[in-house]
Amino acid sequence: MNKVLVSALRYSQGPGATSGLATEMVGVGLRGPVCIIASRSAQRELESTWTTVFAAAGMTFVIHPFSGECSRNEIARGRAAAAACGAQVIVGAGGGKALDTGRAVAAELGIPAVCCPTIASTDAPCSAISAVYSDEGLFETYLFHPHNPNLVLVDSTVIARAPVRLLVAGMGDALSTWFEARACMRSGARNSRNGVSTGAGMAIAELCWRILQADGVSALDAMKTPTATPSPALERIIEANTLLSGIGFESAGLAAAHAIHNGLTVAPEVHAFHHGEKVAFGTLAQLMLEDAPQEEITAVLNFCTSVGLPVTLAQIGLHDPSDALLLRIAERATIASDTIHNEPFQVTANAVLQAIKRADTAGRAVIQ
Ligand SMILES: [Zn+2]
């Protein structure tokens, strides 16, 4: 079996990076017309810059306002808008769902995709995956595209202005990356491209965890007291959340933490919480499932409490859940198709149920 590294073709991050969007696009061989699928806030914040930079590069562009949900209907609408202007490239700008829609439209049209995230709340921007929901917001399926984005352009000035909680959620998503990568390495599980991880993929996943521990708190402090340019710690966390975690999960694989996240979503009470917040608790439960060393569990607990990530069920909306509900969560987490079976041992619903309870007990002990 081959070792496969999965990544975007080009990643570019820095303060005011949007002013270099057209130049970066030309640098990877992209030409207009450009169709920008933009969330309302991305358009409000960036439209005047887009007008300037695309005019200077001699590229025409249209903006297709994103409706708010990455649904089949929204992808069809984006595709029609892109076809109407003869787009040669799709730029997604906004949060995860706008970018997911942009990548899906580009894949359907067989043209390149550019992602311009305006928040750092998940590791999806660099990926070749879109999560598709119904128009009402219920998860339907993942689409696996042939290509990762040709360019991911991260304007750290824009991300620094987003709500702090979204960056924290991104750290929760990034927290799981190393532990899931390690589980996949131990079991020999295949990654998103049917290969096994390279050494590079593992090193990137491990670096992600080290940066979270070293810079998480100071990045949050920097966000709470804005400066003209984001601090070096905030830049490193944005990179960890977006690039390192993105390469890590696609190149090394997912395991129990994300499966437990998926299990948690059977409880409507958790829907108000961000993906990364639930993944953080899933990571803690994964370590319990693996009987990880106490010092590692302590390190994860300390990190989560230091940045405000949940470590108990109550902190993700599950106050005194019944055993029946926890069993339903564990059963969903262990369905045959989920990534929990990338763990290097047999996983049962009952073992997951016990791991969730142990995680909750350990979390309650540290927040008292
Ligand atoms: Zn995730």
261 in catalytic set: yes
Q: Which domains does the chain have, with CATH numbers?
A: 11-160 (3.40.50.1970), 165-367 (1.20.1090.10)
Rounded Cα–Cα distance for residues 334 and 367 (Å): 29
Rounded Cα–Cα distance for residues 274 and 318 (Å): 14
Confidence band (pLDDT; 50, 70, 90) for 235? Answer: very high
* CA 317 to ligand 1 center in whole angstroms: 19
Which among 100, 123, 155, 258 is annotated as catalytic? 258
* CA 85 to ligand 1 center in whole angstroms: 34
319 in catalytic set: no
Percent of the chain with pLDDT over 90: 91
What pLDDT does residue 60 have?
97
Which among 215, 261, 338, 360 is annotated as catalytic? 261
pLDDT single digits (tens) 125-177: 999 999 898 887 777 888 999 999 999 999 999 999 999 999 999 999 999 99
Which among 215, 275, 338, 360 is annotated as catalytic? 275
Instruction: Assess whether the previous peptide bond of 112 is cis (omega < 30° from 0).
Output: no
The pTM of the full predicted model, rounded to 2 decimals, is 0.95
* CA 122 to ligand 1 center in whole angstroms: 6
Output the 3-class SS for 311-361. Answer: CCCHHHCCCCCCHHHHHHHHHHHCCCCCHHHHCCCCCCHHHHHHHHHHHHH
64 in catalytic set: no
Confidence band (pLDDT; 50, 70, 90) for 291? Answer: very high
Around ion ligand 1, residues with a beta carbon closer than 5 Å are 173
* CA 51 to ligand 1 center in whole angstroms: 33
173 in catalytic set: yes
Residue 206 amino acid letter: E
Confidence band (pLDDT; 50, 70, 90) for 293? Answer: very high
Which among 100, 123, 155, 173 is annotated as catalytic? 173
What's the full length of the chain, in residues?
Answer: 368
8 A C-beta contact, residue 344 and residue 183: yes
What pLDDT does residue 129 have?
93
8 A C-beta contact, residue 135 and residue 185: no
Q: What is the DSSP secondary-structure string of 29-40?
A: T--S-EEEEE-H
